[in-house]
Every structure is written in C-alpha cells, then in structure tokens.
Structure 1
Amino acid sequence: MAEVATSATFDHLLVVIDPVARQTDGESVRIVKDVLSAGAATKVCLPDGPEEFARALARRGSRRPVVVGDDRALMRAVVLLHRQRELAECVLSVVPVGPMLGVAHALGVPTGAVAAARAVLDGAERRLDMLVDDSDGVVLGALRIPALVAREESVEAARPWLRTCQSLVRTLVPARPARETAPALPGPSRLRVEVDGVTLVDLDQPLEAVSVTPGSGGGLASVEVRPLSVGAEASPLLATGRTVTVTGADFRYRADAGVAGPVRRRTWTVREGALGLVLPGR
C-alpha cells in the first residue's frame, strides 16, 4: 500500500448502483445516495446488468466513479478499467452494500454504508497492489488453491439428479451386503509452486492448500503453502516475491469473489500501486 495522497473530496461523482445492492438493501442505497448528494454533485446510474454497468463506467467522462455494491461489483469495475488500460488514471470509490463484502472490508473500506459514503467525500486516495494473471485476471484480496475434491463427491455435487436416480434404484433393487468404504473426502493437491522462478514446492509433495496475498509492501506478494500433514502438523512454507507460478493437473482456484479454472498452469504478477482506491484518511 502506497502512502496517502491528497484529500479525495470530488465535486462531480458518477454513482453506479449495482442491481444486487438495490435488491438486497434498498434502504442503505437510499441513505448512501442522500449522503453523497449532500456533499457533491452526483450523477446516479442504475444499471440492470453487466453490460449497462460497463457502459455507465465507460461514459463517466471527468466524473469520479463510485461503485455501490458488493465484492462482485467492485471486481467488475476493477477488471473493466484494467482491461481498458484506464485503471492507472482512475481513482475508484466503493460503498459496500450487498451479500459479499469481505474483499472491500479487507482493503480498508468502512463496514457501514454511511461511513463508507462519508469516506468517499472526505477520504484520501491510496495506491494498492494487486495481482494480475497471464489471462488478464485480477486479484485484489487473496488467491487460494484448496485441496482437490474426491471425484465421486464432485460428480454428485454437480449432478443432483444422479443422487435421485441412485436413491430410486436402491428402493427397487434388493439390498446387497454392505461393504466398508472410506468416505469421499477432499484429497491432497500436487502442485509445483515457483516464486520469482525458484521452486518452493514440487509435484512430489502433496499439499493441503496454497494462498497468495498482494499488498505486503514494496510490490511483493506473500505466499503460503501448507504441506499435507501426516502425524504432527506440518509447518507452512512461506515466501515473498513479485511473480508466482503454479503448475499442476487441472486445479481450480478462488480469486476474491469468484472461482476459476480448471487450469494446468497459471502465473500471477504483482502490479505495484495499480489500484487507486479512496479510503478513510489516517
């Protein structure tokens, strides 16, 4: 996180209110509109979907964008600006309203809608690091690669009708003697994790999880690898670096508010100070 810049009070704001925020907490949205309108000249946009959201952001002109919504709306705005190569010149504000708010709060945005709206008017711009992968995906808060899920468990979860059919067959076919079978549990991942080109862990070491967090300072990401514990708990492997490459067989990963994959190789690079976000002054 870079040092606090000048005061972020803006005379002209583009307030983009995500439809999920309007549906889940209309009262907070109304209060936010009142607070922002009382402190600045505002243009309010009420997009009905991602396409209208993108058009509103693209037509902001000289107005400073304020996203009223949850983590998904924040990520949508950041990804749009990043892919249009306009993120470096844009200062973004967010007022968290909706069901998923963990990323915004982790970045330092106030938890209450009123406090967040006041921070839009009285806060200061701070430059935050973020991760960008080799498919142009963005991570603001945290990247996590969990253990693999056993195949039987994942197939049944993806096909609920399969469980229904299996239950029906069991009622029609005489029961066979029960066999002792191990429950379907998450299995270990086997991944190669490289930090700045140096291998931290290789494919021969089963893993429980991998996590990568930007913003540790100086354009470095914090990497934590948890080896599979056998007997005594294994100590996590820690590292910091500017690039993190993960290689393995069809792994998925959770990036902020979404899940991506499966992929066999992905590289994340820290972009120092890439995001300008208005946060409460210190």
Structure 2
Amino acid sequence: MATFATSDQLLVIVDPAARETDGESVRIAKDVLSAGAAAKVCMPDGPEEFARILARRGSRRPVVVGDDGALVRAVTFLHRRRELADCVLAMVPVGGTLGVAHALGVPAGAVAAARAVLDGVERRMDLLVDDSDGVVLGALRIPPLAAAVEAPEPVPARGWLRPYQTLVRSLSTRPAAVVPRPGPARLRVEVDGRTVVDLDQPVEAISVTPGACGGLAEVEVRPLSVGAEATPVRASGRTVTVAGADFRYRADVAVTGPVRRRTWRVVEGAWGLTVPGAS
C-alpha cells in the first residue's frame, strides 16, 4: 500500500448533488483538505464538466466529494480512458447513497474522510467490467430486489472489508427508473465457462461481487424456494455470464436493462482508493 504526503497536490471535485444535499459537509471537507494540502477546488455544474475537470487533472490527485454515483462516474470515466490503473482516487462521502463507499473502506463523516485523504494509504481493488465497458465497484444484483427500484440496497462489506448522450449520458447519475418487482427468473449462470444454474431452474436472486483483490468474483444464486428455503448456490471465478429471458440488473447504484446476455470479468487490482492507514 502506498502512503501519501500532505504536500501532495489535490484536485477536489465537488459533485453538484453533494452541494444541494449537504452544503455544510461540503464546506467542512473543503476546509480540512485546503488546510492540509495544496488543494484546487472545482465545482462542476454537471456530469460533462465533471468529466472535463477529471480529464485535465494533470499530476493532481483527484478527490471526489459526493455520493456513490459520483464515485462510480469517476471510476467509469477513468476506466474508459484507460487511465484508471495509474490514478489513485480519494473520496469524501457526501449525499444520501453511500453504501458502496463505506463498504469499500471510506470513513463516514466529512472530517474523518478528509483526514483519510490527507494521511491515508492506497488500497488496490478488483473491478468487475462488463462486455459493454460498464463497471461494478461493490455489488451486482439480478434481478433488482426492491418492490420498486428507487434507491440502492446496502452493499455488503468485502472482507476488509454512453460523449453528452454517449459518454456523459452514461456517466451521469440520473435517478433510477421505477421498475416493478420481477417474478422468478429463468437464467443460465456460467462461471469461468461452467454452468452453475441452467434455464430449467427458476431463481429468485443472483449476486456478484468482486473479491478482496484476489482476481475472483464471488457469485451467489438463490433458487426459487417452495416451502423450505432453498440452499444458495455459490461459486467463484474470473468471468461470470448471465443469459436467458430479458433481465434487468443493478450495478452499484444504477439499474440497467433489459438485456438477454451479459458477461462480467474481474480485472485484478484495477484501481486504487485512498483509505485510512492502520492505526
């Protein structure tokens, strides 16, 4: 794990939603970061400017002040520019949807998170990348489990745990569309080419999470239960393919679909996030 010096230059990008949601926490984060390091603070008006600022970061270390959607947007942008491996991100979580950030090790609270940015260490993490170049930081769920998909579910801890209308549109953090609760799905799930569940077995839920930087994804399939609860089917591997009838899935904070087939692969140690160092 790499450590950081307070002399590092920071590029603090404050997501618009964070300013609207909790301006006081944004102010505190700016004050702590500016007091501890040479910090350039930017207030983008929307996703397009957010991306432009991040692209022009130079040697500054980017710090995202915002929610899970802002973090996913930053990781997605850097991944698609093939710059993610060489850019260590930091985050001060501000907003209403923060389960991904906290599960990845980002402290709760503006002060604690800002201090971790200044004094923390780099932690390398695996990334799930799909065949449309989308990314998953924390958890993938098929189908979305809420009766109406309006807010993301908590992301389980991990041990230590499309241009504006193309690029920008895909990186924006729109509210997820309301999707009625789906019934049991008939899907084929393959892990590293091996069929774990086939179309003849209805399933209630599938979850896929990157492992703790081990190059493997953890897969859990819950078969449809009649009477007694069915035992989940678990597997791990480097690629996961889901195919069958049209299905939707939630990747971190966004619901995508319907699609008929999607493959995710694990990119080991694909990105770095600043987290608190060992005490």
Provide the C-alpha distance between the structure 1 equivalents of 2:89 and 2:58, rounded to a whole number of angstroms: 14
Match of 2:273 in 1: 277
Matched, 1:73 2:67: no
What is the RMSD of the two structures over their aligned residues, measured on CA atoms? 1.9
Distance 1:43 1:75, change over 3 A: same
Equivalences for residues 199-214 of structure 1 within 5 A: 199-214=195-210
- 1:186 deviates by 4.0
Provide the C-alpha distance between the structure 2 equivalents of 1:243 and 1:74, rounded to a whole number of angstroms: 24
The answer on whether the counterparts of 1:149 and 1:186 sit within 8 Å (CA) in structure 2 is no
Structure 2 counterpart of 1:218, one-letter code: G
Provide the C-alpha distance between the structure 1 equivalents of 2:266 and 2:239, rounded to a whole number of angstroms: 6
Match of 1:218 in 2: 214
- 1:231 deviates by 1.3
- 1:215 deviates by 2.2
Unaligned runs of 5+ in 1: 151-157, 160-183
Structure 2 counterpart of 1:84, one-letter code: R
Provide the C-alpha distance between the structure 2 equivalents of 1:234 and 1:46, rounded to a whole number of angstroms: 50
Provide the C-alpha distance between the structure 1 equivalents of 2:108 and 2:231, rounded to a whole number of angstroms: 34
Provide the C-alpha distance between the structure 2 equivalents of 1:70 and 1:34, rounded to a whole number of angstroms: 19
Provide the C-alpha distance between the structure 2 equivalents of 1:64 and 1:109, rounded to a whole number of angstroms: 16
What SS does structure 1 have at the residue aligned with 2:97? Answer: coil
The answer on whether the counterparts of 2:144 and 2:255 sit within 8 Å (CA) in structure 1 is no
* TM-score, reference length from structure 2: 0.85
Match of 1:35 in 2: 32
Match of 1:188 in 2: 184
Match of 1:57 in 2: 54
Q: Give a deviation string over 1:229-263, Cα, whole Å, max 9, x none.
A: 01111000000000000001110000001001110
Q: Percent identity?
A: 79
- 1:198 deviates by 0.1
| Larger fraction in helix | 1
Size of the aligned set, in residue pairs, is: 248
Structure 2 counterpart of 1:55, one-letter code: R
Provide the C-alpha distance between the structure 2 equivalents of 1:26 and 1:147, rounded to a whole number of angstroms: 31
Structure 2 counterpart of 1:53, one-letter code: F
What SS does structure 2 have at the residue aligned with 1:240? Answer: strand
Distance 1:147 1:44, change over 3 A: closer
Match of 1:12 in 2: 9
The answer on whether the counterparts of 1:8 and 1:120 sit within 8 Å (CA) in structure 2 is no
Provide the C-alpha distance between the structure 2 equivalents of 1:70 and 1:148, rounded to a whole number of angstroms: 21
What SS does structure 2 have at the residue aligned with 1:131? Answer: strand
Distance 1:8 1:135, change over 3 A: farther
Structure 1 counterpart of 2:37, one-letter code: A
Matched, 1:232 2:225: no
- 1:185 deviates by 6.9
Structure 1 counterpart of 2:102, one-letter code: H
Structure 2 counterpart of 1:73, one-letter code: A
The answer on whether the counterparts of 2:144 and 2:249 sit within 8 Å (CA) in structure 1 is no
Match of 2:103 in 1: 106
Q: Whose radius of gyration is greater, 1 or 2?
A: 1
The answer on whether the counterparts of 2:12 and 2:63 sit within 8 Å (CA) in structure 1 is yes
- 1:100 deviates by 0.7
Unaligned runs of 5+ in 2: 148-176
Q: Give a deviation string over 1:176-223, Cα, whole Å, max 9, x none.
A: xxxxxxxx9741000000000000000000000000000244200100
Distance 1:85 1:10, change over 3 A: farther
- 1:9 deviates by 4.1
Equivalences for residues 156-167 of structure 1 within 5 A: none
Structure 2 counterpart of 1:278, one-letter code: T
Match of 1:21 in 2: 18
* TM-score, reference length from structure 1: 0.84
What SS does structure 2 have at the residue aligned with 1:62? Answer: coil
- 1:146 deviates by 2.1
Stretch of structure 1 that moved more, 211-220 or 36-45: 211-220
Provide the C-alpha distance between the structure 2 equivalents of 1:256 and 1:218, rounded to a whole number of angstroms: 20
Of the candidates 247, 261, 267, which is equivalent to residue 263 of structure 2? 267
Match of 1:251 in 2: 247
- 1:5 deviates by 2.6
The answer on whether the counterparts of 2:249 and 2:256 sit within 8 Å (CA) in structure 1 is yes
